[in-house]
Amino acid sequence: MFQSPYEAIGGEQVITKLVDAFYERVAKHPDLSPIFPKDLTETARKQKQFLTQYLGGPPLYTAEHGHPMLRARHLPFPITPTRAKAWLACMHEAMDEIGLNGPVRDELYQRLILTAQHMINTPEDER
C-alpha cells in the first residue's frame, strides 16, 4: 500500500537525528535560546513525538499529551516573525546536516513553513 511520509522519511531513526540536530542549533541561536529551556531534553522528546504523528506515524504526542493545540501551547512564548524565520532556518540547516533530501524533505519543509507562520503571536517590536 501507500507509504506514509513517516515511512518515506526513514521513521524513528531519521526523526531522532533531525530533531537532535535541530535543537543543537536552537540552543545556540541568539533569537531562540532565550525563550527555550536550558535543558532541551524534554522539549526534544515531545518534538520527536509530535513530528512522528505530523508525518502520519503513530500518534505518540497525542497519546501522552492530548490534542496538540500547538498555537495555544505556544502562546506563553513571544513568537515574532524573526523567531519564526530563525526556527525554520535551524530546521533547514538540520535537514542539510543529516542529509535529508528529496520530495519528503520538501513536503515537510513546506508544511513547517505554514505551521511556523501560524505560531506567530507577537509583532516584531514587542519582544
The answer to the question of residue 108 lying near ligand HEM (CB under 6 A) is no
Select from 29, 46, 48, 92 the one that contacts ligand HEM (CB under 6 A).
46
What distance in Å separates the CA atoms of residue 11 and residue 96, rounded to the nearest whole number?
Answer: 17
**Near ligand HEM by CB under 6 A, which window of 3-11, 16-24, 77-85, 100-108?**
77-85
Helix, strand, or coil here: 105?
helix
The answer to the question of residue 19 lying near ligand HEM (CB under 6 A) is no
Select from 21, 23, 25, 47 the one that contacts ligand HEM (CB under 6 A).
47
Q: How many Å from the N-terminal Cα to the C-terminal Cα in the chain?
A: 48
17 vs 74, beta carbon nearer ligand HEM? 74
Residue found under cell 490534542: 67
In Å, what is the CA distance from 71 to each residue of 59, 118, 123? Answer: 18, 7, 15
The answer to the question of residue 35 lying near ligand HEM (CB under 6 A) is yes
Report residue 49 CA to chain centroid gap: 10
Expressed in percent and rounded to 5, the helix, strand and coil fractions of the chain are: 70, 0, 30
The answer to the question of residue 119 lying near ligand HEM (CB under 6 A) is yes
- Judged by the rule CB under 6 A, the positions of this chain that interact with ligand HEM are 32, 35-37, 42-43, 46-47, 50, 65, 70, 73-74, 77, 79, 83-84, 87, 112, 115-116, 119
